[in-house]
Chain A
């Protein structure tokens, strides 16, 4: 449940629909499911198996687990990415999470007012958003205001839950948050699907056409066949990227969570169930709510403008939809509170790898590790909030850490699992306690297909995006400061790993019993 909570996040409801509608509609699902089968689920299983193995050796943090699996100290330093990624992503994710709570509160109290003139709803929504996130000028949010108030509340809630521990805090919270999230999302879904054509002047803006806008296969360029979408590398890139982000693969979270499993716990069915739950939220709820709702009230042109950005779709366009919708305040509250729950279950998972790292690396207690992590992430969040103009700091950290480093970490993981630890050993270990056999194809996929897929997608992604962001860095300013923040965090973690390595070397358990169990489970070399 905790891993499913980690995977289900804002991307399921805001990023996926935009990506699908922009990249061929229904036909986007072909590269999407290919990426799920050949990239997402195999790497997910590898992470679960690696995490459980590390846990059996007495370790819970990614650097220590990488060291045990790779059997050389250098691998600990590769494992640092498994702490750096969630911590740096947390810097901005907590800020977005607080926006969701703030919007939910604004709907509950009626303080979102887009006026009475429907022709001015869009401008009023954009203005509310710009004021709320402080996108007009750097430092405009510093002080006593609703944005900072909800950031503090969200931050405190996160650290209260993380302080209570994985089981009493995160797991217990996810156990009720995920069902509530599902109920809220289904209520909004039923509302959207029963709207028919609410605007009398625009009978063509109805539910069926809204679903069609999302799911009808369509070419990226006018005049092409929709099948031509499948020959477009950008579409495959978008699909692979979406699968990556949505499953929390390459995030360092699954390895940490799986390390708490016991010897006979099932990693195959658990991994598949967490992935399937995430896919249900993404395809069935995200895919049927966001775009159709926006289409019904704003039409094709209104939706098209906001497809490129999750923020535009979620925080500028949907408030306009709720303004038009009967009982919109109630549904606006349900929607944004549901997004908040989706976000908090993910943000909690970003803290736990660092907590585990600090506890086992520096041998400090829960109080000290929470305090240290609170200072680091609080400073990072304030950096993002201060440099709010155009959301530049947020965007830069998201690009370099939330996107590029995910590919890097996933590549290290696949190489470690398949070629260093050994795919055969890994598969045999995954078999222990498994209710479900791993598919025979898995060995071939994780050794050859997933690494090749990853490298091709990463190379394409770099080719497409790196020049633009490199140009930004050359100009200095906030993007360069953001890179410095990431670099300082990275160096800090490398130093801690170096210190911790000496302890880990002394504390590594004898793995002969685990290796014997692997042999009995079917590994023969």
Chain B
């Protein structure tokens, strides 16, 4: 494993991990986002009663 290999691996893995954690943090920590999250039964797909 070369130094550039380490750089590419750590920067790639690190950036997508940080992005995912940041996204989940924004989704879960924002109080208003809780209003936008739906439990499965809350989603009206128009197909449950047919």
Contact = CB atoms under 8 A, between A and B. Distances in A.
B16 to A, nearest CB: 4
Interface size class of A (residues with CB under 8 A): 35 or more
Given A165-B48, A167-B45, A269 B9 contact: no
Contacts of B4: 26, 216-217, 226
B9 A26 contact: yes
A322 to B, nearest CB: 24
Given A25-B5, A215-B5, A359-B47, A435 B12 contact: no
A212 B43 contact: no
Contact of B12 (A175, A226, A270, A287): A287
A212 B20 contact: no
Nearest to B1: A212
B32 A29 contact: no
Contact of B26 (A166, A175, A436): A436
A266 B36 contact: yes
Interface stretch (A70-78, A278-286, A456-464, A490-498): A278-286
A168 B41 contact: yes
A461 B18 CA distance: 33
Contacts, number: 123
B6 to A, nearest CB: 8
A266 B33 CA distance: 8
A365 B32 CA distance: 35
A24 B27 CA distance: 35
Interface string B1-25: 1101111110111011101101110
Contacts of A287: 9, 12-13
Contacts of A365: 50
A54 to B, nearest CB: 13
Given A209-B1, A269-B27, A273-B27, A284 B16 contact: yes
A215 B8 contact: yes
A33 to B, nearest CB: 8
Given A175-B40, A435-B33, A166 B1 contact: no
Nearest to A166: B45
A401 interface: no
Contacts of A157: none
A239 to B, nearest CB: 12
A276 interface: yes
A60 to B, nearest CB: 7
B29 to A, nearest CB: 10
Contacts of A433: 36
Contact of B43 (A171, A217, A272, A436): A171
A260 interface: yes
Interface string A79-100: 0000000000000000000000
Contacts of A171: 40, 43
Nearest to A27: B8
A214 B13 CA distance: 13
B8 A168 contact: no
Given A26-B4, A211-B9, A279-B16, A366 B47 contact: yes
Interface of B: 1-2, 4-9, 11-13, 15-17, 19-20, 22-24, 26-27, 30, 32-33, 35-36, 38, 40-48, 50
Given A272-B19, A276-B16, A277-B23, 7 more contacts: A211-B9, A269-B26, A273-B23, A273-B26, A279-B19, A280-B16, A360-B46
21 contacts: A29-B8, A29-B12, A167-B48, A211-B9, A215-B6, A215-B12, A216-B1, A216-B8, A217-B5, A264-B36, A266-B33, A273-B23, A273-B24, A276-B23, A283-B12, A284-B13, A284-B16, A288-B13, A355-B47, A359-B47, A359-B50
